[in-house]
Structure 1
Amino acid sequence: MPLPDSTPWQLSAACVGLPPSAVFARGVQQAAPALRACARCPVQRECEETVAPAESWFDGVCAGRLWRNGRPASAARIARVVDLDAGVARTARTALGSQL
C-alpha cells in the first residue's frame, strides 16, 4: 500500500499490496491479514514511529497491533482470532508484551 510520498521503509512493509480495508480495519477478523503480515514485517519500528498510533487516534493495524482510537486492542482476543504459528506468535508476544 505505498503512498504517493512513499519512503524506502514503506516499500519494504509486509502490508504492501494488502487492501486498505484490512490495514485500516477496526475488527480483528477483518484485520487478520494485516496482523499476519505485520508479525513478519521488517519495518515495524519505522511504521510505529511514523504513524504514532497512540498520539493520532489511529484505527487499524500498525506495528503488529490492532489500534482503535489510538489504543491497542486486546492482544488475547487478537491471538484467538488470528491464526498465528509458533514463530509468529513469539514475535507477536514480543511486540505486544506479556498480554498474550
Structure 2
Amino acid sequence: MPARTTSQPPALTWNDSPNSAPTGERLDWRRSAACAQLPQRSVFARVPSEAAEVLRACNQCPIRKECEAVVNPARTWFDGVSGGRLWRNGREVAAA
C-alpha cells in the first residue's frame, strides 16, 4: 500500500496581497504580522483584557485581511485574535 501524503495549503505570496510586490517573491506572512513578536498567550487570548495588546497591534498590521482569511475563524472555531478582532469558538467577541 502506498504511503499516504498530506498536502499543505500553499504559502501566501506577495501576489496574494492587494499590496503586491514583484512577481515570484515569497512573503512569510507570519513574520510580517504586527503580533509576530508578542506573547502567544495574548494572540490566543479568550477575553478582551488579555488580548488588548494584540488588538492594538492589529490596527497597524500590514496583513490584517490576509490573517483573517488564512485563519478563517468561523470555519475553524478559532480562539484568539485574527484580523483585528477577538474570536471565541469561531464567533466574534464583542468589544468591552
Q: TM-score, normalised by structure 2?
A: 0.70
The count of residues paired between Structure 1 and Structure 2 equals 72
Larger radius of gyration: 2
Query: Structure 2: any 5+ residue segments left out of the alignment?
Result: 1-10, 13-26
**1:68 and 2:88 aligned:** yes
Match of residue 24 from structure 1: 44
Match of residue 4 from structure 2: none
1:39 positional shift: 1.1
Identical pairs, percent:
54
In structure 2, which of residues 59, 62, 73 is the aligned counterpart of residue 39 of structure 1?
Answer: 59
Indicate the structure with greater helix content: 1
Q: What's the C-alpha RMSD, in Å, of the aligned pairs?
A: 1.7
Which structure has more relative contact order (CA 8 Å, sep 6+)? It is 1
Q: TM-score, normalised by structure 1?
A: 0.67
Aligned partner of residue 87 in structure 2, secondary structure:
strand
1:64 positional shift: 0.4
Query: Structure 1: any 5+ residue segments left out of the alignment?
Result: 78-100
